Amino acid sequence: VARAKHGAARSPEPLVPLTGAELRGLQRRLLAWFRRNQRSLPWRGTRDHYRIWISEVMLQQTRVAAALRYYKKFLARFPNVGALARARTESVLEAWAGLGYYSRARNLHRAAREILRRHGGRFPRKPAVARELPGVGRYTAAAVLSIAYGEPLAVLDGNVARVLARLGAVRGRLREPSQWNALEDTAQTILFTSAPGTWNQAMMELGATVCTPRAPSCGRCPVAHFCQALALDCVEQIPEKPKRRAPVRVQLAAAVLLDSKGRTLLVQPKDNPRGVLFSRMWQFPAVEVAEDAETELRRHLHETYGLATAGLIALRPARHAVTFRDITLLPYLLPVVELPRGLRQAVKGKQSDGVGTGAVASVPLAEVERWPTSSATRKIARAAGAGGQPALPFPV
């Protein structure tokens, strides 16, 4: 049925060739294994569309252990679609602070408003309608609709793709579009349609806990009997590793201003000029630097905030690795008599190397971690002594 719906040319050979009886055997074994071995996770055992949606968005690009720490707090703060829709964006970003990929939080918030306004407060049940929501792609739609509503839609994420590729001893790059399409068809073909949500979670669970990228536990695998890669002794060669992009090295010099009352300056860029890496979260004044970090930071602070920088003190550098960026954070401390109240007129509206336009706030350094900031900003705050011993004796 799924094939017919997609219409045009799809690979004629099934990637995981199974007879009807074999498929039923595979389904039965995997589901029995899942019933006994699934991790107990707070989003399991609910069919609430809102809770499942939040969990699936958190689990994209975030490990279960990290998502666990945020999930309950997020739901306590925004217990239903209405609460999320009515919240201020700031407040949603604050609850997300530290999870990364902040566009997810913005999209959640926008989508909650649409769900309330256009869909009567319920996550839409039709895949095409669900996918019109901000941040809801094929994966999220399939996950939420299958788990919450029992819609017969197979999910394909990295875990499921690896399981399928090993079952069928599929060579080549899985993320290559025609291959990924073929895997989507395969996932749909083997879907256990009587309990699609449970099936999808069982496939993901197998990939996450048994059929792992490295050192898979084939001895514990409930479907090892059907695995072509195991039969051909090439489990660890599948999936083929994508060629790693060399991480782009970036140096970011950031200034922790500090007045005599222990307050510092946070800025929130409105646009996203070059050099500002942390999206539109609150952050310290910062600039991407090439060679002479200190000189470049001084120039930035002077041009953008009109600051005199004679007292600038270098703090301990920190590393921050995100996707393919390897960022060296170079924090500096700058004691000031008074924090700037805004950006200099001359640069307002103009994009400089750092923050061009946007808001500024004066915040006690000790409270920076309570603002919607990224974890890089928290690392910088800690280098300046927030939440622990001050880096230097004060007052200035």
Q: Which residues bind ligand ADE (CB under 6 A)?
A: 56, 59, 143, 201, 204-205, 208
Which lies closer to ligand ADE via its Cβ, residue 208 or residue 287? 208
Which lies closer to ligand ADE via its Cβ, residue 204 or residue 355? 204
Question: Contact at 8 Å (CB) between 287 and 273?
Answer: no
| 388: helix, strand or coil | coil
Alpha-carbon span 90 to 99, nearest angstrom: 15
Contacts 24+ apart (CB under 8 A), 88-93: 90/372, 93/281, 93/372
Question: Contact at 8 Å (CB) between 205 and 39?
Answer: yes
Residue 115 Cβ, how far from ligand ADE at the closest point, in Å?
A: 20
* Pair type for strands 263-269 and 358-364: antiparallel
Closest CA relative to residue 96, chosen from 86, 84, 114, 82: 84
For the chain, state the CA radius of gyration: 25
Asked if 294 is an active-site residue, the reply is no
DSSP codes, 269-284? ESS--TT--STTSBB-
Residue 312 Cβ, how far from ligand ADE at the closest point, in Å?
A: 45
Alpha-carbon span 318 to 256, nearest angstrom: 14
Which lies closer to ligand ADE via its Cβ, residue 185 or residue 205? 205
Residue 43 Cβ, how far from ligand ADE at the closest point, in Å?
A: 7
Which lies closer to ligand ADE via its Cβ, residue 154 or residue 301? 154
Structural tokens at position 161: 């793709």
Alpha-carbon span 338 to 313, nearest angstrom: 17
Closest CA relative to residue 284, chosen from 268, 303, 273: 268
Which lies closer to ligand ADE via its Cβ, residue 58 or residue 111? 58
Residue 201 Cβ, how far from ligand ADE at the closest point, in Å?
A: 4
Residue 143 Cβ, how far from ligand ADE at the closest point, in Å?
A: 6
Residue 38 Cβ, how far from ligand ADE at the closest point, in Å?
A: 8
Q: What DSSP state is assigned to residue 251?
A: E
Structural tokens at position 63: 């490990």
Find tokens 């603002």 and name the residue: 371
DSSP codes, 308-363? --TT-EE---EEEEETTEEEEEEEEEEE-SS---S--GGGTTS--SS--SEEEEEE
Q: What DSSP state is assigned to residue 373?
A: B
Residue 41 Cβ, how far from ligand ADE at the closest point, in Å?
A: 7
Question: Contact at 8 Å (CB) between 344 and 291?
Answer: no
Identify the active-site residue in 22, 56, 94, 303.
56
Which lies closer to ligand ADE via its Cβ, residue 57 or residue 330? 57
Which lies closer to ligand ADE via its Cβ, residue 68 or residue 314? 68
Amino acid (one-letter) located at 143: A
Which lies closer to ligand ADE via its Cβ, residue 150 or residue 317? 150
Amino acid (one-letter) located at 287: V
Residue 233 Cβ, how far from ligand ADE at the closest point, in Å?
A: 28
Active site residues: 56
